[in-house]
Amino acid sequence: MRAMVYRGPYKIRVEEKDIPAIEHPNDAIVRVELAAICGSDLHLYHGMMPDTRVGTTFGHEFIGVVHEVGSSVESLKPGDRVMVPFNISCGSCYFCSRGLLSNCHNVNPNATAVGGIYGYSHTTGGYDGGQAEYVRVPFADVGPTVIPDWMDDEDAVLLTDAVATGYFGAQLGEIREGDTVAVFGAGPIGLVAAKTAWFMGAARVIVIDHLEYRLEKARSFAHAETVNFAELDDVVVHLKRTTDGLGADVAIDAVGAEADGSFLQHVTSAKLKLQGGSPVALNWAIDGVRKGGTVSVVGAYGPIFNAVKFGDALNKGLTLRMNQAPVKRQWPRLFEHIRNGHLKPSELVTHRIPLEHIAEGYHIFSAKLDGCIKPLVVPGAN
């Protein structure tokens, strides 16, 4: 098969790899029809995540058709059209049984924290991802779900991470009716978090970013107020001024490891790799939320030290909530929103890239070229 292969920071190419085989009776092999490049894939691409090994295939957002199933698989059969959550989970361990599907204890040798994730380094289990023509899907009776007949493919593929994670970010904020919600980052996850904050009762939604084309999308897709932090001396002071001096009730960090806004933080994290990511957005969230408020974190960070303002969070009495999204847990409500016309994930898609040109797709997305918000990867396209 043809697959995207990592060759080092900023170096990827498409190569021939063996079609994956059934390794366990509960496996399935899925022929990928549509995948996506996620903002967190860029952390791998830029060399931000430890133990990202040469030869790895990225891609944790994908849908496809079941090609083959193991002898124990009962819920799927060849020919089924499926969406696959980015979490790999067994469904029966201590954590899975409590709904923490992203913290499964049986799918990752390093599972003191995160469970398994497709195509996301050996810190999350070392599984190859879906930016390829075929992918092995473990625990096929647990993760994949047959795509409803009424759902578009592009909506389905965004539900495998970006939409579910954005919704989860708003959910973690425990938004109450009348709340002011500040969302840091106008990428796909931040945009979904902003839009779905309205569903939960928000009275104001403010999106902070520095790229004007993404802020325009926040206005049109999420109907949010927008703030360009590059035009301000201090984004936290601005937030306080627009909230009667108090701060937002809820702040959502939808940026993660490569936040702009501080030269020092960027150099020590992105360049020198002395931190597990630049905590600029997280620190702004801590400082920009009111005393007693809630900070939700769904932006991805690496597993090493970060210079986070924990003392400020303590002294303000903040509630900090965070995790990798348990994707499948979000699907029933998101299916309802999509079917009822309240949410159309495919409105976020700006680029559709043949697998053979995926290196160019990564470059466009990484360099923020051509108004790129969400690129899809099409294995069968020319």
Q: What is the pLDDT of residues 10-24, one digit of tens each?
A: 999 999 999 999 999
Distance CA 339, CA 344 (A): 9
Partner residues linked to 375 by β-bridges: 351
Average per-residue pLDDT in the chain? 92
Contact assessment for residue 52 and residue 117, using Cβ atoms and an 8 Å cutoff: no
CATH code for residues 2-161+326-378: 3.90.180.10
DSSP 358-369: HHHHHHHHHTT-
The values of phi and psi at residue 198, to 5°, are -60, -40
Q: Give me the pLDDT at residue 274, please.
A: 47
Regions in the chain scoring below 50 on pLDDT? 263, 269, 272, 274
The DSSP call for residue 192 is: H
Partner residues linked to 297 by β-bridges: 253, 322
Q: Give me the pLDDT at residue 49, please.
A: 84
Residue 262 Ramachandran class (φ > 0 left, ψ -120 to 50 alpha, else beta): beta
Closest CA to 227 of 214, 332, 345, 308: 214
The values of phi and psi at residue 64, to 5°, are 180, -165
3-state secondary structure of 319: strand
Distance CA 373, CA 181 (A): 22
Q: Give me the pLDDT at residue 50, please.
A: 83
Class for the domain spanning 163-322 = alpha beta
What is the value of pTM for the model shown? 0.93
| Total length of the chain | 382
Distance CA 190, CA 312 (A): 24
The CATH 3.90.180.10 portion of the chain extends over 2-161+326-378
Residue 150 Ramachandran class (φ > 0 left, ψ -120 to 50 alpha, else beta): alpha
Q: Give me the pLDDT at residue 122, please.
A: 92
Pairing of the two strands 81-84 and 145-146 = antiparallel
Q: Give me the pLDDT at residue 272, please.
A: 47
The CATH 3.40.50.720 portion of the chain extends over 163-322
| Residue whose entry in the numeric block shows the structure tokens 């060759």 | 7
Distance CA 59, CA 36 (A): 7
Beta-strand runs (E) in the chain: 2-8, 11-16, 28-36, 62-69, 81-84, 87-88, 116-117, 134-137, 145-146, 180-184, 204-209, 225-228, 248-253, 289-297, 319-322, 351-354, 375-378
Contact assessment for residue 62 and residue 160, using Cβ atoms and an 8 Å cutoff: yes
pLDDT tens by residue, 242-253: 999 999 999 999
